[in-house]
Amino acid sequence: MQQVKIYDTTLRDGTQAEDFNLSMEDKIRIALKLDELGIHYIEGGWPGSNPKDVAFFEEIRSYELKNAKVAAFGSTHHPQGRADTDANLKALIDARVPVATIFGKSWTVHVRDALHITLERNLEIIRDSLAFLRPNIETLFYDAEHLFDGFRANPEFALATLGKAIEGGADCLVLCDTNGGNLPSVIREIMQAVKDRYPAAALGIHAHNDSELAVANSLTAVELGAVQVQGTINGVGERCGNANLCSIIANLMLKMDIPCLPDASLRRLRETSRFVLELANVPPNRSQPFVGRSAFAHKGGIHVSAVEKNPLTYEHIDPALVGNKRRILVSDLSGRATIKRKAEDYGLRLDKKDPVAMQVLDELKELENQGYQYEAAEASFELLINRAMGRSKRWFELVSFRVIDQKLKENEPPVSEATILVKVGGRLEHTAALGEGPVNALDNALRKALEKFYPQLKGMSLFDYKVRVLPGKEGTGARVRVLIESHDGNEHWGTVGVSHDIIEASWQALVDSINYRMLKMDEQEKCKC
């Protein structure tokens, strides 16, 4: 059976998208998530282009990946130089990764107008660059940039570039629709021509989405025998984006019966999609196929009635297969059923006919209208259900807090200090703490005050912090949503707060984070008893 290897370039090609930015720490977390998903190759960046990517390759070596191999990206050597003296190629070797991918020119337009060299010189550059890397790299891929456009302009030259890549020692020839303008029929025709010329070569596909055909072109390439598919999570990338791996993986496994990831990984597809978006602080596309919130949402009366009788009537797959869920948008009963299912996830018994279910549903709708979002803040939602069921406990009470953010000198960062007064049982605790920003200072002060009473909080820390301005009132009067991710060394959990005041929104999320930690500690103690 044909097997397809998935090559993810979210951390490199994806970051070329407008308003899609990742810190080095974000890139590490995404790489680990992709490894958990079962991705075969993770392209970490271009070490010859910027210090952040160099730092990524240094840091990722400290992690033991279970499934993926890390790849470094680069170009063929400078047209006026040699392979053995090229800084870009040396950077690929210095990255100390098992996989290197380099791209070269396949289109005469680029050779003559961009590089200003002869076609013969371009062929030499491709062969020499790969041959130089070959002894130093375990697995070597060649991205044939603009291969399809190049073939349409000059078929013999485009095919000759692939021949030189083979001579240089490429393990796989990745055919690139770099401008994203070709139809599946063109992909099919040209891939067949490549196979006819080089029948023993392993082929891959790298498609862009400028004609909204990147997924279709990638699947077409697989039908023609491609053994590697490149793309990004959610299709992020320059201009209109890259081929969307979420759709490609689902289609390969569910529609074409072609293995590319472990079967269990499919159920983590939506989780991975949302994880990447949250780290990049990018709103999700509700209508994204397979993993979008609306991908299996039903509103029309006829649709709802039919789906409740037989989901196959209006669903092309079982949403659970990709980690998604069916949503009935107009049914209060379905809403209560959803609350019941969530309560069961938290180990709580709640009948859908219980008035509490309706209470939670009404509160949830109101909070969502205010801007709360619980998909990345499951801990806050679990606390909400516990409160509605009368199972909540007040571990502390806020009396007051004050946050001071001072900038003392123009060229120095502000100094943040928080003071807080809380009541635990009948005792008052007043303390202060500094921090890197007002929220960090408030977090430090709160935990400093509570750790005297709850030492178990010492193992907890704020892991990530995201702020999003919500649609509605413009300017500085707009509401903001704060998402906080916390961890204790074993578990990660997300909490949310919404307010016109960013400090207040942060406070809500911080309090939920601590309350969730205390709730879990209480449950563990009860289990011991």
Q: d(Cα 326, Cα 81) in Å, to the nearest integer?
A: 58
CATH architecture, domain defined by 396-453: 2-Layer Sandwich (3.30)
Beta bridge partners of residue 100, listed in sequence order: 72, 140
Count other C-beta atoms under 10 Å from residue 395's C-beta.
Answer: 20
Map tokens 């998909």 to a residue. 375
Q: d(Cα 413, Cα 393) in Å, to the nearest integer?
A: 39
Beta bridge partners of residue 141, listed in sequence order: 101, 172
Mean pLDDT of 299-328: 81
The answer to whether 45 touches 11, Cβ cutoff 8 Å, is yes
467 token code pair: 């702020």
* Domain boundary assignment for the chain: 5-280, 296-330, 396-453
In which band, very low, low, confident or very high, does the pLDDT at 330 lie, cut at 50, 70 and 90? very low
Residues 6+ apart with CB under 8 A from 521: 454, 456
Closest CA to 95 of 170, 43, 169: 43
In which band, very low, low, confident or very high, does the pLDDT at 136 lie, cut at 50, 70 and 90? very high
Mean pLDDT of 169-192: 98
In which band, very low, low, confident or very high, does the pLDDT at 528 lie, cut at 50, 70 and 90? low
Q: For position 221, what pLDDT does the model report? A: 98
pLDDT, one tens digit per residue, over 139-162 is 999 999 999 999 999 999 999 999
**R_g of the chain computed on alpha carbons:** 27
The answer to whether 34 touches 272, Cβ cutoff 8 Å, is yes
Q: d(Cα 97, Cα 101) in Å, to the nearest integer?
A: 11
Three-state SS for 283-343 is: CCCCCCCCCCCCCCEECCHHHHHHHHHCHHHCCCCCHHHHCCCCEECCCHHHHHHHHHHHH
The answer to whether 126 touches 115, Cβ cutoff 8 Å, is no
Run of H or E including 454: none
Do you know the residue count of the chain?
529
Q: For position 334, what pLDDT does the model report? A: 41
DSSP 6: E
- Asked whether residue 234 carries a pLDDT value surpassing 60, the answer given is yes
The answer to whether 148 touches 194, Cβ cutoff 8 Å, is no
pLDDT, one tens digit per residue, over 26-77 is 999 999 999 999 999 999 999 988 889 999 999 999 999 999 999 999 999 9
pLDDT, one tens digit per residue, over 254-266 is 999 999 999 899 9
Angle at the Cα of 312 from the Cα atoms of 310 and 315, rounded to 5 degrees: 120
Question: In Å, how far from its chain's centre is CA 402?
Answer: 36
In which band, very low, low, confident or very high, does the pLDDT at 249 lie, cut at 50, 70 and 90? very high
Question: In Å, how far from its chain's centre is CA 61?
Answer: 20
Mean pLDDT of 312-316: 91
Q: For position 429, what pLDDT does the model report? A: 94
The residue that leads in pLDDT, 411 or 102, is 102
| Annotation: CATH topology of 296-330 | H-NS DNA Binding Protein (4.10.430)
Q: d(Cα 207, Cα 255) in Å, to the nearest integer?
A: 20
Q: For position 283, what pLDDT does the model report? A: 86
Q: d(Cα 215, Cα 29) in Å, to the nearest integer?
A: 26
Q: For position 287, what pLDDT does the model report? A: 94
DSSP 61: T
pLDDT, one tens digit per residue, over 430-458 is 999 999 899 999 999 999 999 999 998 88
Terminal alpha carbon distance of the chain = 52
Run of H or E including 28: helix 24-37
Ordered DSSP codes for 103-171: EEE--HHHIIIII---HHHHHHHHHHHHHHHGGG-SEEEEEEETHHHHHHH-HHHHHHHHHHHHHHT-S
In which band, very low, low, confident or very high, does the pLDDT at 364 lie, cut at 50, 70 and 90? confident
Q: For position 197, what pLDDT does the model report? A: 98
DSSP 52: H
Angle at the Cα of 82 from the Cα atoms of 78 and 84, rounded to 5 degrees: 115
pTM over 0.75: no
Q: Which CATH number fits domain 5-280: 3.20.20.70, 3.40.50.300, 3.40.50.720, 3.40.50.1970?
A: 3.20.20.70
Q: d(Cα 406, Cα 415) in Å, to the nearest integer?
A: 5
Angle at the Cα of 264 from the Cα atoms of 257 and 223, rounded to 5 degrees: 20
- The percent of residues above 70 in pLDDT, for the chain, comes to 94
Crossing angle of helices 378-388 and 502-528, in 10° steps, is 70
Phi and psi angles of residue 464, each rounded to the nearest 5 degrees, phi first: -150, 155
DSSP 224: T
Average pLDDT over all residues of the chain: 90
In which band, very low, low, confident or very high, does the pLDDT at 339 lie, cut at 50, 70 and 90? confident
Question: In Å, how far from its chain's centre is CA 474?
Answer: 29
319 token code pair: 């949403």
Closest CA to 279 of 236, 221, 338: 236
Map tokens 């999700």 to a residue. 284
Residues 6+ apart with CB under 8 A from 508: 482, 495, 496, 497, 498, 499
